[in-house]
A and B are shown apart, each in its own frame.
Chain A
Amino acid sequence: MSKPSSFSLRGRKALVAIKDERDASIVKRQFERLGIEIVTWEPGAKIDCRPDVTLIDDEFLPLTSPAQRASLGRSPVIALLGTETPSRLKLVLDLDPASFLVKPLRSAGIYAALVMAFERNERTNELKQQVVKLEQRLRSRRIVLAAVLQVMHTHALAEPAAFALIRRAAMEQRKTIEDISAEITAKGSLPRAIG
């Protein structure tokens, strides 16, 4: 099944903290048009839902509760900017916003800000997963190195040939080089199929 399109927003849930009533009513009206459910939130109150996106007015910054900051960190945040002073922007950047809107709000721009936020969040999550994977591989380099040294010693091979042998074993057994290296170092020899 394909992932939901960032362009289709129907059925998503938004946590909304907006100070000005006019801005709040514009967001409410536009969200109704887009089929987005709104949960209004007063900073200071406990966040008891899992929103898909959060809109937060810069008037409410900084958030003092670490629990609130952690809650907001799970979904993309759209900051509503009333001023562009660096001091205010610094508070906004602490939330790592995925998108922003400039107050006073108008209906134009809200849809784009939402799409950008969802898409940015999606891409950031993909990058984070990729980083985790790369970090794991980096950590296991030590094991691969140990396995290469062991094969070099056992089979009297140069480093390129030892690594090629390990890689071939990994391919034949449909395992990663890191996994096969772990087996080599644990058993003290190449797996029997290759041996």
Chain B
Amino acid sequence: MTKPSIPVGIICSQHGPYQAMGREILKSAMMAVDEINEQDGFDFSISAHVRDPRGVIAEYHTVCDDLIRNVGVEHIIGCYTSASRKQVLPIVERTDRLLWYPARYEGFECSDNVIYVGASPNHNVLPLVRYVLDNLSREIFCVGSNYVWTWETNRVTRELVTAAGGRILAERLLELGESAVTHIVDEIVRRRPPVVFNTLVGSSSYDFIRAFHAATTAANLSIPMLSCSLCEPELKIAGPASAGCITSSAYFESIRLPENKAFVARWKARYGEHSSPSVDGQSAYVAVYLLARALQRAGTSDIGEVRRAAAGHRYNSPQGPVWIDDSNNHCVLTPRLAVSNAEAQFDIFWEAEAPVKPDPYLTQLDVAASPARDAASPNAPHLRVVK
């Protein structure tokens, strides 16, 4: 007997400035869809309706509208930048649909029509900046793409750094897709900051990493770079210059969990031995599974029922245990810190002792608290060294 099919929209840009990430999200989402469709444990199949807004912000609204009006989807997986999510948000709220958003983002949003599967700011920015303050420097040079992710990440960084008696040496912003990075690299070489925090996205980031590496090598400088977004496929695009970047993320290909080893093996069997899953891609994979498991439990695709069925149920995903916190629709995740190596992989050196509750409004953040005092908070990440 043929299983009933549930239409699900997938929105990711396979063209434009962050096409690489869009393609990774699509690959992971489709892998999850195919896996679910092949499993007897699910008494339905998912029919994926993929749309490519090509990195054009207004297009996100158009394709979302099309998926809801013409295809009749109730659930949509996708969007990457916050600007794209904000385009889709009014439609899913007005029509009472559910967007499963895979990317890490800057927080300060909590829609009942969105499940935020990626990291909240307390999962990535906080552990990274705390680590830098404790181990590297109290002075940070920031360079990022000129949009909300960078603005908010820089604001949180500034609050933490200032409270610790340090300072932000500079905040240099580039438009999305901008490749003219030389003036910023020249300034870094001239001013020699102790660390550089890179919140550039897509091609701007790869151009910057390469130029930064070339210039600092020529000047015989060793300046650590920080990131909350770099992932393995991007390390490959940026090339050998990307080694040595200290990165905060809930997912790395090198996580030593059996679920991840199996996931990576399936991934490589499907996409080739030399390909790598990414954090946002893996998150899209998790999103599809969270949705499918909720659909199965709910026995309907009605979004209210699905949301209730999804909340609080633990899923042992490739990145470790993940569940949706029903107080804010964000996911409980395990923060990790790693440094990129010459093989375009990450060596994990810290991870939280247990999954950390999402804090999208940074309600639990006490910028004046010392890292030691802050660690006593039940919601603060307890970091431990990973051997």
Chain A residues within 8 Å of B, Cβ to Cβ: 2, 5, 8-10, 29-30, 32-35, 106-108, 111
Contact = CB atoms under 8 A, between A and B. Distances in A.
Contacts of A106: 93, 111
Nearest to A26: B112
A108 B363 contact: no
A34 B108 contact: no
A174 to B, nearest CB: 32
A9 B364 CA distance: 10
A111 B111 CA distance: 12
B327 A33 contact: yes
Contacts of B93: 106
A145 to B, nearest CB: 47
Interface in B77-99: 89, 93
Nearest to A33: B328
A30 to B, nearest CB: 7
Contact of B110 (A5, A8, A9, A30): A30
Given A32-B327, A33-B327, A33-B328, A107 B111 contact: yes
Number of contact residues on B: which range applies?
A: 10 to 19
Contact of A107 (B110, B159, B364, B368): B110
A9 B363 CA distance: 7
B343 interface: no
A8 B360 CA distance: 12
B112 A33 contact: no
B109 A33 contact: no
A10 B362 CA distance: 9
Contacts of B364: 10, 35
Contact of B109 (A10, A29, A108): A108
Contacts of B368: 2
A10 B108 contact: no
A8 B112 contact: no
A104 to B, nearest CB: 11
B165 to A, nearest CB: 13
B164 interface: no
B360 A33 contact: yes
A10 B364 CA distance: 7
Nearest to A9: B363
A188 to B, nearest CB: 54
Interface string B353-387: 00000001111110110000000000000000000
Interface of B: 89, 93, 108-112, 159, 327-328, 360-365, 367-368
Given A8-B362, A108-B111, 11 more contacts: A5-B367, A9-B361, A10-B364, A33-B110, A33-B328, A33-B360, A34-B363, A35-B364, A107-B112, A108-B89, A108-B109
A35 B357 CA distance: 14
A32 B325 CA distance: 13
A154 B363 CA distance: 65
Give me the 8 closest cross-chain CB pairs, A-B, nearest first: A35-B363, A10-B363, A107-B110, A33-B328, A34-B361, A34-B363, A33-B110, A33-B361
A35 B367 CA distance: 16
A33 B360 CA distance: 9
A66 B253 CA distance: 65
Contacts of B327: 29, 32-33
13 contacts: A2-B368, A9-B363, A30-B110, A33-B110, A33-B360, A33-B361, A33-B363, A35-B363, A106-B93, A107-B111, A107-B112, A108-B89, A108-B110
Question: Which of B112, B361, B367 counts the most A-chain CB atoms under 10 A from its CB?
Answer: B361
A33 B112 CA distance: 13
B200 to A, nearest CB: 25
Contacts of B367: 5
Nearest to B162: A2
A106 B364 CA distance: 23
A34 B368 CA distance: 18
A111 B112 contact: no
A79 to B, nearest CB: 22
Contacts of A5: 159, 367
Nearest to B108: A111
Contacts of B328: 33
A46 B327 CA distance: 32
Contacts of B363: 8-10, 33-35
A113 B93 CA distance: 20
A30 B361 CA distance: 10
Contacts of A2: 368
Nearest to B330: A33
A5 B362 CA distance: 12
A26 to B, nearest CB: 9
B103 to A, nearest CB: 18
Nearest to B363: A35
A29 B326 CA distance: 10
Contacts of A33: 110, 327-328, 360-361, 363
